[in-house]
Amino acid sequence: MSRVVCFGELLLRMGAPGNELLLQSPRLDVHVGGAEANVGVSLARFGHDVAMASTVADNPLGAHALGELRRHGVDTRGVRLQADGRMGLYFLTTGAVQRASEVVYDRADSAFALSTAADYDWPALLQGADWLHLSGVSPALGADVAQATLAAARAARAQGVKVSFDGNFRPKLWQRWGGDAKAILRELFAQADIVFADYRDIEVVLGQPFAQEDVVARVEAAAAAAFAAFPQLQWMACTQRQALSVDHHALGALLIGRDGTRAQAPVRQLQGIVDRIGGGDAFAAGILHGIMRGFDADATVRFGLAAGGLKHSIPGDFNPVSEADVLALVGEERFDVRR
């Protein structure tokens, strides 16, 4: 198993219970989340040695977030505590029938968003690590944290640590502070060994359109362009989602390698979706696990898609399932009670 460091913001999710509208009744369900933390929890559950690097408020909210990570086996000693800081929050209304889910963010000026590159001792934080996982959400939060994310990626490369990067392009976050998304994301892509991105992310980074009629053909063309632009890049993975209704999605996945490897997982019909938040992070963790464990490309993409599919059945941001749980779905696809 591998040593993985995840860098990003820990968030508290405040959700309307069941399928209620936000504050329809005077209570909220609380979950801990965050794109990078979601990946970290999944990898820890798969048996990897995972550590989180971040900054949280030095108060009961921050303590709760760290406690949840530790409960799932994630090392939190690399997380800074910021006195008088605040936690990033988001509020979720879960959709139903023809009403879509809705998210309201309250994360401006959080302890993490105000942190700087100088706050993180990357040579120490990355000591003994095999992989660093980052996402495009972090640099979108502001100039200082963008530089912190770039410093993490550069330090990883300098120390021989492989870099996993999830594009997660969030245009509204970039627009809020006028950040140069193209330039910053381009450098992060250039540092990565694997990116979780589709053709739309590559269009942003490279500034070129992919107009093929078929979506898979667009992804393949984007991957070829990314491999040409970024010599360090070895893999590109993404899902293809078709939302047939709020609680019925068809989900496929594609994994493409620099060496010409192409693996596509059969589409899964996800009916009766419980919670899709964190599904992409569960997929990313599944792909990383397959690569770290030496699965072939076909087994890796099937494992990743199965992990992402399972997350849709579990409330909360985390996907606390084991490797055996995912392999059971990949190999058997049984839906009766396992005894």
In a domain, 212, yes or no: no
Question: In 10 A of CB 223, how many CB atoms?
Answer: 27
Give the Cα separation of 88 and 64 in Å (integer). 13
Band of pLDDT at residue 243, cut at 50, 70 and 90 = very high
3-state secondary structure 101-129: CEEEEECCCCCCCCCCHHHCCHHHHCCCC
Beta strands in the chain (DSSP E): 3-7, 11-15, 29-33, 49-57, 75-82, 88-93, 102-106, 131-135, 162-166, 194-196, 235-245, 248-257, 262-271
Interval 183-200 mean pLDDT: 97
What pLDDT, on a 0 to 100 scale, did the predictor assign at position 339? Answer: 44
- The confidence score (pLDDT) of residue 97 equals 87
Distances (CA, A) of 94 to 21, 97, 277, 312: 8, 11, 10, 12
Is residue 333 pLDDT above 90, yes or no?
no
Domain range enclosing 332 = 234-339
- Report residue 1's pLDDT band, with 50, 70 and 90 as the boundaries: confident
Name the nearest CA neighbour of 164 among 269, 295, 8, 272: 8
Q: Are the beta carbons of 81 and 59 closer than 8 angstroms? A: no
CATH code, domain with 259: 3.40.1190.20
Domain contains 48 = no
Q: Which residues contact 135 (CB under 8 A, 6 or more apart)?
A: 8, 35, 36, 165, 166, 167, 168
Closest CA to 103 of 116, 113, 89: 89
The predicted model gives 273-277 an average pLDDT of 94
Instruction: For the chain, give the mean pLDDT.
Output: 95
Sheet strand arrangement including 262-271: 75-82, 49-57, 3-7, 131-135, 162-166, 194-196, 235-245, 248-257, 262-271
Mean pLDDT (whole number) for 47-70: 98
The percent of residues above 90 in pLDDT, for the chain, comes to 94
**155, 26 Cβ separation under 8 angstroms:** no
pLDDT value of residue 337: 38
Q: What is the mean pLDDT of residues 40-57?
A: 98
248: in domain: yes
Average pLDDT over residues 261-275: 95
Number of domains in the chain: 1
Residue 154 contacts residue 183 (beta carbons within 8 Å):
no
Question: From edge to edge, which strands make up the β-sheet containing 88-93?
Answer: 29-33, 11-15, 88-93, 102-106
- Over its C-alpha atoms, the chain yields an Rg (Å, rounded) of 19
pLDDT (tens digit per residue) in 211-242: 999 999 999 999 999 999 999 999 999 999 99
Cβ proximity of 153 and 114 under 8 Å: no
Residue at 40 is within a domain: no
DSSP state letter for 47: T
What's the pTM value of the predicted model, to 2 decimals? 0.95
User: How high is the pLDDT of residue 98?
Assistant: 86
Q: Distance between CA 137 and CA 18 in Å, rounded?
A: 27
Please give the pLDDT value at position 332: 59
With respect to residue 314, please indicate whether it lies within any of the assigned structural domains: yes
Indicate whether 27 belongs to any domain: no
Under a CB-based contact definition with an 8 Å cutoff, are residues 155 and 123 in contact? yes
DSSP conformation class of 96:
B
Q: Is the confidence at residue 7, as pLDDT, over 60? A: yes
- Percent of the chain residues topping a pLDDT of 70: 98
Residue 175 lies in a domain: no
Specify if 131 maps to a domain: no
In sequence order, the 6+-apart residues with CB closer than 8 A to the CB of 95 are 19, 101, 102, 246, 247
pLDDT tens for each residue of 116-149: 999 999 999 999 999 999 999 999 999 999 999 9
Q: Which pLDDT value is given to residue 230? A: 98
In this predicted structure, the answer to whether residue 338 has a pLDDT above a threshold of 70 is: no
pLDDT for residue 335 is more than 70: no
pLDDT exceeds cutoff 60 at 100: yes
